[in-house]
Structure 1
């Protein structure tokens, strides 16, 4: 290999390491120690589109607006008006209460399935990049969403373990990280069990205590959530941090352990930085903001950058007696020779990716 080719090999390795330096050290350490736990919110599902470009899933507000229309179709005008009033006040849980009560029974279950249990064949596969990228961060995911987007995009989707708040044995294994297969915990319910969706005030009170004396239905799930808040590093993706019940649990754990919890992290669009930081500050939460420039590819690139922390290894050029030089223009391709010594497996994924992007890799 020519000297200029050696330059490309080592220089690209160092560049990749430097790209990681903009990430918080605690975040990188959590990823390397397998303590990073993505918590996926509605923004991820809302990035998915159907063939033809329409959104595959509604936002919470859109879901309730559709429920209002369904109530009118059932001549439940009073309930429809109550839903409208509470939507105007941005009181989504109260709006959901009257939507549920007005459509109660099979009409409600049919409604939520039509809204959330969509056919995978109707989805534009190119819009699944974000949930696919998230799986690169961990084999364990928590989601606040009801849909199947994370199951669709799991690299081992045939064996993915789907957990709800009644899956007591699986919740215990999720807490200890002992599940054999990749796993998704639907913290607020799963569309395949529509009766257990946490959407109304009653549903939220089944998981989050209203007071210290409250008796809750999903005790095991709450205990696991509290343990994970304390022992893992949460990375909020697609979350606006407006779920007051979840934030209250985060703050409660901080108080119990004298702020010895976290830091946790949230990925935030640059235009929402100020509002999210204000929300974090007003709630006194130990959550650090990581900014991305735009939705779509820039957000996916940021997640892949975080994932690549595990692939980047610092190279000691002096120890290898290699002296980087400026590459001659005549060298337009790189012949990369790799090896995996016994009991010392190497990771070349990032390097291959960067060389391929530059069109320099000799096949």
Structure 2
């Protein structure tokens, strides 16, 4: 089991810890038929079929096999019929049949004031907006009110890559990454400030988002490494070299669970109990 650092438990109990949710959290959801949302590569393989030129489609699949995922999706975006591409986005990320999983519920119970997610779907929002008596606001990266909301007492879900509600605002392709950095630089300044002043736990994240890694690197240079951020990884999913690099370059300490997904649920339930006990003591 994960041995949760006492300092981390304290930070979460005091609501000074940011929970950062990645695609692995969305993938834990199921619909009534037991189906899960498409994983990243599964979505890309389906998207590649929208490229009608067979030679170009083959090149896109080659990019996917080489793990050049952003470039592959940029190629699909450039070559596919726009209406077909948008339909695929809606089918993949706007399916109300997917229900919050046990993982979504535990994240909700940890009751962090700030949750950041790169997911386009609305599954975690469904959990919060249906169960919370305290009220949540969902704020995309391009919102002019983001800074004011962060300074308030409101519980926030910050959509770092946008939402399926506004397809044109989704950060998905390589060009969209560059456009967002140029036009919404204030968001990345805010994100850097949050990571400088708060501990962050990355849940269900592959730790390969270029924007997040760049900000973590800048924070690592500016801040004391005695207070790391944390990433939850399944046992054996990352090599020792990767874990060492995350620690030295980005000040991210890896906490491993395993061997299966159920072990993460058990570990997080133990964390929830520790936090509830600490909050009960004030």
TM-score computed with the length of structure 2 as normaliser = 0.88
Contact 1:93 1:199 (8 Å CA) reproduced: yes
Would you say the 8 A contact 1:165–1:187 is kept in 2? yes
1:26 deviates by 2.3
Match of 1:232 among 198, 205, 209: 198
Query: Does residue 141 of the first structure (1) align with residue 115 of the second (2)?
Result: yes
Aligned counterpart, 1:268: 233
Distance apart, 1:163 and its partner CA: 1.0
Q: Note the C-alpha offset of 1:303.
A: 1.9
Helix, strand or coil: the match of 1:161?
strand
Alignment of 1:324-343 (within 5 A): none
1:290 aligns with 2:248: no
Q: Distance in 2 between matches of 1:98 and 1:104?
A: 12
Using a 3 Å threshold, how does the CA distance of structure 1 residues 249 and 207 change in structure 2: closer, same or farther? farther
Q: For residue 114 of structure 1, report the CA deviation from its aligned partner.
A: 1.2
1:183 equivalent in alignment to 2:156: yes
1:212-231 alignment runs, 5 A limit: 216-231=182-197
Question: Once the two structures are superposed, what CA deviation does each residue of 1:7-35 show, in whole Å capped at 9, x if it has no partner?
Answer: xxxxxxxxxxxx99x32132122113321
CA contact (8 A) 1:267 1:292 kept: yes
Work out the number of aligned pairs and report it. 277
Partner of 2:272: 307
Distance 1:271 1:80, change over 3 A: same
Report if aligned partners of 2:140, 2:163 keep a CA contact under 8 Å in 1: yes
State how far apart, in whole Å, the 2-side matches of 1:245 and 1:34 are: 25
Gap change, CA 1:179 and 1:190, over 3 Å in 2: farther
Alignment correspondent of 2:38:
58
Structure 1 partner of 2:50: 70
Please tell me the root mean square deviation across aligned C-alpha atoms, in Å.
Answer: 2.5
Q: Report the Cα offset of residue 117 of structure 1.
A: 0.8
Paired position in structure 2 for 1:115: 92
Quick check: 1:156 aligned with 2:132?
yes
Contact kept, 8 Å, 2:10 with 2:275, in 1: the verdict is: no
Matching residue of 1:39: 20
Contact 1:175/1:227 (8 A) holds in 2: no
Question: In structure 2, how many angstroms separate the alpha carbons of the residues matched to 1:174 and 1:232?
Answer: 16
In the TM superposition, what whole-angstrom CA distance separates every residue of 1:241-270 from its partner, at most 9, and x where no partner exists?
A: 122331121001222x15458410111111
**Alpha-carbon deviation of 1:278?**
4.1
Measured after TM superposition, the shift of residue 274 of structure 1 is 3.0
1: distance between equivalents of 2:7 and 2:47? 43
State how far apart, in whole Å, the 2-side matches of 1:76 and 1:158 are: 51
Shift in Å, 1:194: 0.8
Assess if the C-alpha contact under 8 Å between 2:199 and 2:228 holds in 1. yes
2:176 equivalent to 1:196: no
Decide which structure has the larger Cα Rg and report it: 1
C-alpha separation between the residues in 2 aligned to 1:261 and 1:277? 17
1:166 aligns to 2:146 (yes or no): no
2:217 paired with 1:243: no
Tell me the distance in 1 between the aligned counterparts of 2:238 and 2:44.
Answer: 27
Corresponding residue to 1:81 among 49, 52, 58: 58
Aligned pair in 2 of structure 1 residues 258, 161: CA closer, same or farther (>3 Å)? closer
Structure 2 residue ranges without an equivalent (≥5)? none
- Equivalent residue of 1:224, what SS? helix
Q: Distance in 1 between matches of 2:274 and 2:30?
A: 30
